[in-house]
Amino acid sequence: MKFEKKIFLDIVYVILGAVLLGCGIAEIVDSFWSGMGGALIGIGAIRIFQFVKFRKNPEYREKIEIEANDERNKFISARAWAWAGYAFVVLSALGTIGFKIAGNEVLSQVCAYAVCLIMVFYWIAYLILRRKY
């Protein structure tokens, strides 16, 4: 199962997070990296907890396996990604216009570049999927 293969990575997250947090406390790195360390510790701990629960609770295991392998859930997930992509493009395009009107050239360009980048990713994915299917 995927959980068993990823448990090592989760342990690495906790260790790396502890190192970053320790370096932040010792003032070797700034607060961004110590905050990142705290987040890595939290993510790793939650994932390890989920792994232990997955191994010990057969009802939870069945629920997770159904969610991972159910066609309906895969379809819903794909549609959610599509909606999120559409919303991102529209909001970034509106941000490009809004920031330009507001006189903030840098944020306007960032939004415009984001729209261009997502459209390039979409085009590449479309070409790959068209060949695959």
46 and 83 in contact (C-beta within 8 Å)?
Answer: no
Whose tokens are 């085009």? That residue is 123
Distances (CA, A) of 132 to 28, 78, 128: 49, 17, 6
With beta carbons less than 8 A apart as the criterion, state whether 47 and 13 touch.
Answer: yes
Query: What letter represents residue 67's amino acid?
Result: E
Average confidence score pLDDT of the chain: 92
- What is the C-alpha R_g of the chain? 21
Six token digits for residue 104: 């903030």
Give this prediction's pTM. Answer: 0.65
Q: Is the pLDDT of residue 94 over 90?
A: yes
**Tens of pLDDT along 120-133?**
999 999 999 999 88
**Integer angstrom CA distances of residue 117 from 85, 114, 123:** 12, 5, 10
Query: Per-residue pLDDT tens for 32-53?
Result: 999 999 999 999 999 999 888 9
